[in-house]
Amino acid sequence: MSTLLNNLDVFTTGFRNTIILFLVSGLFALILGTIIGTMRVSPVPAMRGFGTLYVNVVRNTPLTLVLFFFAFGYPKLGLPEIDFTTAAIVGLSLYTASYVAEVLRSGINTVPVGQAEAARAIGLPFLQTLTLVILPQAFRSVLPPLFSVLIALLKNTTVAAGFSVAEAGSIRAFLAERGEPGMIVLLWVALIFVILVLILAQLQRYFEKKWKVAR
């Protein structure tokens, strides 16, 4: 307990930055993943092709390489400079969006075809059919796997520690300089991560009950 209490400032800063990374990256990943997921089922071949290419390329690229590119490769392109935290957010968002897109695509495929046909029968165009009829039902059906993706994102934020981002993954290295036992520090970090994951699991159960479809 003394390891935690004596270094509460480091733990607080580390996990505060982790939560910021998670929330911001998660928001952008949900938005981009929804766009890519809808492109995957679009009737336009070019949009389907782009969505498929994005998912296959990004999802099959290690996250470390994605973050490495935005931390060190991106500045070489002559584009406006970004700090390591912003680079981590961009990398995590783009990487996680590919998983969100696939989860959402599977949810869209569970919506009965008759729903879309009925929407078209009353004159709704594709975009309105998607946003008003299909996506609300799809999100309800994919809540468990979608939260699994978000939990994976929470844990993936630790990779950013390798790129000079002061978050939970860097706590052990920082406290090693203070002479704190590494194993004890790692156990505290793991315990706090477990607590955060349990909070996400509770949120999942809450939304599942709130959006449960009566049958």
Q: CATH no. for residue 59?
A: 1.10.3720.10
CA–CA gap between residue 134 and residue 14 (Å, rounded): 40
pLDDT attached to residue 169: 67
Residue 99 covered by a domain: yes
Question: What's the structural domain count of the chain?
Answer: 1
Residue 213 covered by a domain: no
Q: For 112-164, how does the pLDDT look when each residue is reduced to its tens digit (9 = 90+)?
A: 777 777 877 887 777 777 777 878 777 777 888 888 899 989 888 888 776 66
**Nearest alpha carbon to residue 115 among 137, 145, 100, 88:** 137
Residue 7 covered by a domain: no
Residue 8 covered by a domain: no
Cβ distance 147 to 200 under 8 Å? yes
Residue 46 covered by a domain: yes
Q: What is the mean pLDDT of the chain?
A: 81
Cβ distance 59 to 100 under 8 Å? no
Cβ distance 103 to 6 under 8 Å? no
Cβ distance 159 to 63 under 8 Å? yes
Q: Is the pLDDT score of 214 beyond 50?
A: no
The domain of 149 spans: 18-167
Residue 58 covered by a domain: yes
DSSP output for the chain: -HHHHHTHHHHHHHHHHHHHHHHHHHHHHHHHHHHHHHHHT-SSHHHHHHHHHHHHHHHTS-HHHHHHIIIIIGGGGTPPP--HHHHHHHHHHHHHHHHHHHHHHHHHHHS-HHHHHHHHHTT--HHHIIIIIIHHHHHHHTHHHHHHHHHHHHHHGGGGGGGT--SGGGHHHHHHTTT--HHHHHHHHHHHHHHHHHHHHHHHHHHHHHTPPP-
pLDDT attached to residue 23: 92
Q: Is the dihedral of CA 22, 29, 212, 144 positive or negative?
A: negative
Q: For 156-186, how does the pLDDT look when each residue is reduced to its tens digit (9 = 90+)?
A: 888 877 666 666 667 777 677 666 677 787 8
Residue 209 covered by a domain: no
Q: Is the pLDDT score of 43 beyond 60?
A: yes
pTM value? 0.83
Please tell me what DSSP assigns to residue 167: S
Residue 178 covered by a domain: no
Work out the pLDDT band at 215, boundaries 50, 70, 90: very low
pLDDT attached to residue 97: 93
